[in-house]
Amino acid sequence: MYPPEYRYTKEHEWVHVSGESAAVGITHHAQDQLGDVVFVELPDVGAKLQANGAFGTVESVKAVSDIYAPIGGDVTEVNEALIDMPELLNSDPHGAGWLVRLKIFDATELEALMNAGEYAEYVAAEGG
């Protein structure tokens, strides 16, 4: 369910690091809780994200949910496909539904995040 090479937050985002850059998205659990995603609002390329700072919103038919940056970084790319196909967040939250790519400020921030096993336990404990 949760890719072992990713790291996870308590707010149900994931981050996938490769070298000095990282992709960020929301987890399967997050999309399942939201229901049909119909709208995504993302920052512009060049925006500076602080760890734990809200950087966008995901809206389902029923609810609005803020998204928080798992780690700090400069936004180098945003997933433009989500503008027309927000449902990618439901169908492939850990892949094609990625939100932004970052150039990482400080890799040590990753140490505060959960690994896949810890996150799965965290979700189970939340009643998900």
Question: What residues line the site for other proteins (CB under 8 A)?
Answer: 35-36, 38-39, 57, 59-62, 64, 126-127
The smaller minimum CB distance to other proteins, of residues 41 and 103, is found at 41
Q: Contact at 8 Å (CB) between 109 and 78?
A: no
Q: Which is nearer to other proteins, 21 or 33 (CB)?
A: 33
Q: How far is the CB of 31 from other proteins (least distance, A)?
A: 11
CB of residue 118 to other proteins, shortest distance in Å: 18
Closest CA to 14 of 37, 1, 84, 80: 1
Nearer to other proteins, 20 or 126 (CB): 126
Which is closer to other proteins, CB of 44 or CB of 111?
44
| CA 121/CA 97 separation, integer angstroms | 23
Smallest distance, Å, CB 53 to other proteins?
Answer: 14
Interacting residues of 54 by C-beta distance below 8 A, sequence separation 6+? 66, 67, 68, 69
Q: How far is the CB of 114 from other proteins (least distance, A)?
A: 18
